[in-house]
Amino acid sequence: MSSENDYQTNVLYEKEVQNFLGANLHLLGSPKLTLVQIEHPVQFGKEAGRIDLLAKDDSGAYVVVEIKRGTAGRSALGQVQSYMGAVAEMYPQNRVRGILVAMGLDDAALAALKMTQNIDFFSFVTEFRFTRATVVPFVPSAPNNSNGWAEVKDGYWEKLGGEILSESVSCVQCGKTTRVVLVGHQRVCGMCGSSIQ
């Protein structure tokens, strides 16, 4: 049983695929398709429906595109056929064909599609890629006074959470002999704040 939130997620997801395909009809093969309308209204006697995408190909045929989230069942093919019938009644002088777009077909839909001449099936996949971002840790630098010497006194490093160690080193970055400051787990130059190995 699906919740209202599941339904809203499915509808939003289907809308995103619909809008993407509406702007990228070339992904649905050839002949070249031109968009007629997204959410094209159709009438079945007293009932109404909306075609996800109605397009026209280079030969002048109308193309009904129905999009399903997930795996499509045989009812999806019936929906495409009913929309095709409605379009054929609206435009009797034009040929009509259909395209079903889904992440897959169940066995019943696959069997039905094998017996259908004028409906093509396109599958799609969604993909998430996760890449670890390299984050350079923040290392504060010591403020400089007028003569260019870094000030380490007056609690500067302590205010930043650093601990001035008794160890002194010659800093490769600034060239000064300085005391080592521990900021978090990082050892930095007490004069210029650059990392010390």
pLDDT of 167 > 80? The answer is no
Calculate Rg over the CA atoms of the chain: 33
Mean pLDDT, all residues of the chain: 80
Total structural domains within the chain:
2
For residue 74, the model assigns a pLDDT of 93
Q: Which two tokens stand for residue 75?
A: 């009812």
Q: Judge if 17 and 83 occupy the same domain.
A: yes
What's the domain range around 97? 4-123
Residue 117's contacts (CB-CB under 8 Å, 6 or more residues apart) are none
Q: Give the mean pLDDT of 74-84.
A: 94
Q: Judge if 190 and 110 occupy the same domain.
A: no
CA distance 150 to 143: 6
Q: Judge if 110 and 150 occupy the same domain.
A: no
Which of these, 85, 86, 74, lies nearest to 115 by C-alpha position? 74
How many C-beta atoms lie closer than 10 Å to residue 159's C-beta?
A: 9
More confident call, 169 vs 85:
85
* Predicted TM-score (pTM) of this structure: 0.60
Residue 137 region, left (φ>0) first, then alpha (ψ -120 to 50), else beta? beta
pLDDT of 8 > 50? The answer is no
pLDDT of 156 > 90? The answer is no
CA distance 130 to 26: 28
Q: Which two tokens stand for residue 36?
A: 């007629």
Q: Judge if 143 and 105 occupy the same domain.
A: no
For residue 7, the model assigns a pLDDT of 43
pLDDT of 93 > 90? The answer is yes
Q: Judge if 114 and 18 occupy the same domain.
A: yes
Q: Judge if 179 and 82 occupy the same domain.
A: no
**Residue 52 CA, distance from chain mean position:** 21
Q: Judge if 45 and 110 occupy the same domain.
A: yes
pLDDT of 151 > 60? The answer is no
* 27-75 pLDDT, tens digit each: 988 778 989 999 999 888 888 899 999 999 999 999 999 999 889 999 9
- Domain presence at residue 11: yes
Per the document, the length of the chain is 197
CATH number of the domain at 46, please: 3.40.1350.10
